[in-house]
Homo-oligomer: A and B are copies of this chain.
Amino acid sequence: METFFNFLTHRVDDSASVLCVGLDPHPSDLPVPTASAALDFCLRLIKATAPLAAAFKPNAAFFELYGPEGWVALQKVISAIRAESGRLGVTIPIILDAKRGDIASTAEAYAISAFEHLEVDAITLNPYLGRDSIDPFLVYPGKGVFLLCKTSNPGAADLQDLPVSMGIQGIVPLFEHVAYLAQVWNTADNIGLVVGATQPEALQRVRQAAPKAWFLSPGVGAQGGDLETTLRLGLRTDGRGLLINVSRSLAHAQDPAQAAADLCHQITAIRRRLGF
């Protein structure tokens, strides 16, 4: 079976897109805050953007919010992505944005939830509990994880920027240490990193620290990250290795399909200028 990142690479190449479409049905973006409205919000985005989506990323919080009905809606969102992909004759990776992290015996339950019940292809995880909190997710062939490395929010600085001593490598920010750890742990081509687009210097540091890793980069658009800078600093030397996550700028567009197409054109033009 191919690895998760092989699968993702194929989809990125076939779609000629690096867009990860975030499915974040914020209650404030819905006509009424219900599971059914959250589902409708996502179905509209899926339908509009599937041809140009390198991946879809539903965020568990916006479904969990409604309890059991929310989980039913999340299952339907995942089914709808599979159905729309099938209609297009493609397969689009689904990354569950859940940011889970617990001791190994509990992490096993989260892994079963994500990979066996919801049947997503990858999940975002929080690295604070260390290696044994990640391991239960790594044993699933074909599945992947993205470890939070440097997030896009202001509070990221509180822990992630702290200077830690790494012996001969000297003092590095904690997020850079996480990038090193992820590479040590990534023996089966199934660990990527979440690296926000809001702090270009951090993005550049992580790319230098993890030259071959796949990055999932939120923060372009609503949160202020610049698209060109993110591509220039985040892409690998082979022009791959980066998913640009967009949520609100597509969801708030009058015509999300057109907005996705415009964004893809912009990205293609920038990649061409960068020599890819």
Q: Measured between alpha carbons, how far is A232 from B67 in the docked complex, in Å?
A: 40
Cβ of A156 under 8 Å from chain B: yes
How would residues 76 to 95 of chain A score, 1 for a CB under 8 Å from any chain B CB and 0 otherwise?
A: 00000000000000000000
For window 67-113 of A, CB contacts with B under 8 Å fall at 67-72, 75, 99-107, 109-110, 112-113
Cβ of A178 under 8 Å from chain B: yes
Chain B residue at minimum C-beta to C-beta distance from A62: B109
Q: Measured between alpha carbons, how far is A118 from B68 in the docked complex, in Å?
A: 11
Residues of B within 8 Å of A128, CB to CB, are 126-128, 148, 151, 159-160
Shortest A261–chain B CB gap in Å is: 26
> Is A68's CB under 8 angstroms from B71's CB?
yes
> Is A113's CB under 8 angstroms from B65's CB?
yes
> Is B66's CB under 8 angstroms from A117's CB?
yes
How would residues 234 to 276 of chain A score, 1 for a CB under 8 Å from any chain B CB and 0 otherwise?
A: 0000000000000000000000000000000000000000000
For window 114-168 of A, CB contacts with B under 8 Å fall at 117-118, 126-134, 148, 151-160, 162-165
> Is A27's CB under 8 angstroms from B109's CB?
yes
Cβ of A171 under 8 Å from chain B: yes
Residues of B within 8 Å of A153, CB to CB, are 103-104, 129-130, 132-133
Cβ of A188 under 8 Å from chain B: no
> Is A71's CB under 8 angstroms from B65's CB?
no
> Is A129's CB under 8 angstroms from B101's CB?
no
Residues of B within 8 Å of A129, CB to CB, are 99, 148, 151, 153, 155-156, 159
Q: State the majority secondary structure of interface residues on A.
A: helix
Residues of B within 8 Å of A11, CB to CB, are none
Cβ of A17 under 8 Å from chain B: no
Residues of B within 8 Å of A110, CB to CB, are 61, 64-65
Cβ of A189 under 8 Å from chain B: no
Shortest A161–chain B CB gap in Å is: 9
> Is A131's CB under 8 angstroms from B113's CB?
no
Partner-B contacts on A (CB < 8 A)? 24, 26-27, 59, 61-62, 64-72, 75, 99-107, 109-110, 112-113, 117-118, 126-134, 148, 151-160, 162-165, 171, 174, 177-178, 181
